[in-house]
Amino acid sequence: MTGDAVLTQAVDPGSDRPVYKQIADHLRDAIARRLAEGEQLPSEARLMEHYGVARMTIRNALRLLQDEGLVTAEHGRGVYVRARPPVRRLASDRFAQRHRKEGHAAFSVEAAQVGATPQVDMLTVTEGTAPAEIADRLRLAEDAPVVVRSRRYLLDGKPVETAVSYIPADLAKGTPITDPNPGPGGIYARLEEQGHTLERFTEDITARMPTPEEARLLALPPGVPVFRLVRTAYAVDGRAVEVCDTVMAADAYLLSYELPAH
Amino acid sequence: MTGDAVLTQAVDPGSDRPVYKQIADHLRDAIARRLAEGEQLPSEARLMEHYGVARMTIRNALRLLQDEGLVTAEHGRGVYVRARPPVRRLASDRFAQRHRKEGHAAFSVEAAQVGATPQVDMLTVTEGTAPAEIADRLRLAEDAPVVVRSRRYLLDGKPVETAVSYIPADLAKGTPITDPNPGPGGIYARLEEQGHTLERFTEDITARMPTPEEARLLALPPGVPVFRLVRTAYAVDGRAVEVCDTVMAADAYLLSYELPAH
DNA sequence: AGTAATAGCTTCTCTAGACGAGTAGAGAGG
DNA sequence: CCTCTCTACTCGTCTAGAGAAGCTATTACT
């Protein structure tokens, strides 16, 4: 039967540690030692029988493991050791000018590296105002007009990242930046064509649990946090020309940076 | 009574959406609109009464909010809107040589910036081997001897970060690097004194839910992910001279990097 | 052979209750 | 005034069940 090699231990009802945590410990250990990615755990019924406890106790144990991101439960099928998606490394040179010069946007460069099919989804371009936090980074008044480019990126059909770009309206108006498809090399290439040669970026990274909305958009299982990456692009004249607010499934990314020591 | 302003809506039992999710939606909305940080939610008993559901249904709703990091339950006291700890910004210049020259280690510089008292804890220095992943970064054989410096950092008495440094034994032996206190400017200053002038660092960042062990060491409430930051220090001759494996509470940090655009 | 119903598994939602354990305030006693 | 105990309230753990909903493989039928 499924995953029976897991059923080896018993709980100590006299212990200080709650029974469901003891069971979670057993299962966590079994996952680390004996079970492969994608392998099925014994069903709740079998675990109840083995440990001699009520259903809720088993479910509490499994919930703990779900929250740690170790397993996913699939309704009607079973509970499985979570398979880690292939990690995409975001290297700090991914916005190098040479890529733009060659007509590649950052995301398509990244996709090509892992041999996946890139796709963009739910793309909207509107004009409006930026949230206070963003307007601040652009050194704009809160009611200053900005072009808002919102989109979702997919690799091989699976959503991996949402991004919202804010560009001061005076930089974007009358350029392909306001088109859904801004052309080869992406909006950074267009900004440079307008004479706003890019000098540097700053990236601010935080991590947290997703909102239900984010979990839906990124098709996130429970127990997976998200990265939020806010990138500000500066032109050679020091002006902030774009802010990009990105949310990514944290289990799918490794962010890599290089720092000088001097 | 406590948090009664929250109790304004009813559930729709005929809805497709499970009752506990509807209740979670109500509470999430109330937290965003009406409740301040640290404010108490109505007790489980009051919520049961208001929504007319069983205790487990209320607890499922509250569990969702806990897992999202929005609230923390305190045994015997109540459920409270989680207070975000002050965020510490890790700027990309935090390992600038000038700090070392002035005798400040990176963590004490950071602590001084926010006006907190830094403290180091559970400090151990041993000699052993590095995990494969780390040995690889140091370009060492897996059984090559390394000095392992393990410690926990605290600000104002609260744990914020654990760190394990691996230094090839031939670089560390006979220097203060093998002492619990390596002296002013930290181990990077010592390495430079030994002639290994530092040229650059790479930092690889991932985020995930903490292991129970990590949650304990960092005193993490449920719903808070951790950053894992692996820094490799390279000397001017290109040699990797140290790898530092750091785990941080993600709600307490903002990682900030600067990238050239060329 | 192909299709549709079915049986049997899975997890999901919810109920109703019991006892345990931590907290905090009121009140009694010194 | 101080300390202790008691009590009421909080969340934590666990039991025992029920029906719903989703998935899969078998079975029965066309």
Is the pLDDT at B167 greater than 80? The verdict is yes
**What is the residue type of A59?**
R
Among all strands, which nt has the closest C1' to A77 (CA)? C10
pLDDT of residue B2: 67
Q: What would the two tokens of residue A216 be?
A: 């839906």
Q: Write out which nucleotides of chain D lie closer than 7 A to a protein Cβ.
A: 9-18, 21-24
Interface residues 52-81 of A with strand C (CB < 7 Å): 55-56, 59, 62, 73-79
Task: With cut-offs at 50, 70 and 90, classify the pLDDT of residue A130.
Answer: very high
Query: How much is the pLDDT for A1?
Result: 58
| Per-residue model confidence (pLDDT) at position A87 | 84
Burial of A200 (0-12, 13-18, 19+ CB in 10 A): middle
Contacts of A250 in chain B (CB under 8 A): 206-208, 225
Distance, CA of A164 to CA of A129 (rounded, Å): 13
Close Cβ partners of A168 (under 8 Å, ≥ 6 residues apart): A138, A140, A144, A145, A146, A147, A241
- Chain A: closest CA distance from residue B38 (Å): 19
Nucleotide nearest to B74 (CA to C1'): D11
Residues of chain A in contact with residue B214, where contact means CB-CB under 8 angstroms, are: none
> According to the model, what pLDDT value does residue B115 have?
83
**Protein residue nearest nucleotide D10, by CA to C1':** B76
Distance from CA of B245 to the nearest CA of A (A): 14
Residue A91 has pLDDT above 90, yes or no: no
Q: Return the ∠ at Cα A119 (arms to A116 and A124), rounded to 5°.
A: 160
Selection from B212, B244, B218, B231 nearest residue B85 by Cα: B218
* pLDDT bucket at A131, cuts 50 / 70 / 90: very high
Q: Is the CB of A76 under 7 A from strand D?
A: yes
User: For residue range A92-125, what is the model confidence (pLDDT) as tens digits?
Assistant: 888 877 777 777 777 887 788 778 888 999 889 9
What does the mean pLDDT of chain A come to?
92
Nearest nucleic acid nucleotide to A58, CA to C1' distance: D14
Helix axes A55-67, A44-51, angle to 10 degrees: 120
Choice among A54-68, A174-188, B87-101 with the minimum mean pLDDT: B87-101
Q: Do A261 and B95 touch (CB under 8 A)?
A: yes
Rounded to whole angstroms, the distance from the CA of residue B220 to the C1' of nucleotide D3 is: 35
Which residue type, as a one-letter code, is found at position B192?
Answer: E
Q: How far does the CA of A76 sit from the C1' of D18, in Å? A: 18
**Distance of residue B52 Cα from the nearest chain A Cα, in angstroms:** 21
Q: Which nucleotides of C are covered by protein (CB under 7 A)?
A: 9-18, 20-24
Q: What is the mean pLDDT of residues B7-29?
A: 90
Measured between CB atoms, which of A28, A211, A250 is closest to B225?
A: A250
Question: In the structure, how far is the CA atom of residue B3 from the C1' atom of nucleotide D7, in angstroms?
Answer: 24
Lowest model confidence (mean pLDDT) among A218-222, B97-101, B205-209, B225-229: B97-101
Residue A25 has pLDDT above 70, yes or no: yes
Of A87, A198, A225, the CB nearest to B225: A225
**Within 7 Å: CB of B79 and strand D?**
yes
The answer on pLDDT for A225 being more than 70 is: yes
Q: By three-state DSSP, how is residue A224 classified? A: coil
Q: CA B197 to CA B205: how far, in whole Å?
A: 24
Residues in chain B closer than 8 A to A68 (CB atoms): 209-212
Cβ distance of B202 and A257 shorter than 8 Å: yes
Please state the separation of Cα A248 from the chain's center in Å. Answer: 2
Contact B253/A206, CB-based, under 8 Å?
Answer: yes
The three-state secondary structure class of A200 is strand
Cβ of A205 within 8 Å of Cβ of B256? The answer is: yes
Contacts of B259 in chain A (CB under 8 A): 92-93, 95, 200-203, 257
Nearest nucleic acid nucleotide to B54, CA to C1' distance = C15
Torsion angle defined by CA atoms of residues B205, B208, B211 and B216, in that order, rounded to the nearest 10 degrees = 80
Query: Which stretch of A136-140, A149-153, B51-55, B91-95 has the lowest confidence by average pLDDT?
Result: B91-95
Q: Which chain A residues contact residue B93 at CB under 8 A?
A: 259
Q: Is the CB of A222 under 7 A from strand C?
A: no
Residues in chain B: 262
**What is the rounded average pLDDT of the residues B239-261?**
95
Among A152-156, A180-184, A223-227, the range with the most confident prediction by mean pLDDT is A223-227
- Give chain A's largest Cα–Cα span: 74
Residue B152 DSSP one-character state: E
Query: For the ranges A3-17, A203-217, B164-178, B207-221, which has the lowest average pLDDT?
Result: A3-17
- Identify the bridge partners of residue B143 per DSSP, sorted by sequence position: none
User: pTM to 2 decimals?
Assistant: 0.92
Distance from CA of B257 to the nearest CA of A (A): 5
**What is the per-residue pLDDT for B107?**
82
Confidence (pLDDT) at B1: 59
A75: the nucleotide nearest its CA (via C1') is: C11
At B209, the pLDDT band (50, 70, 90 cuts) reads very high
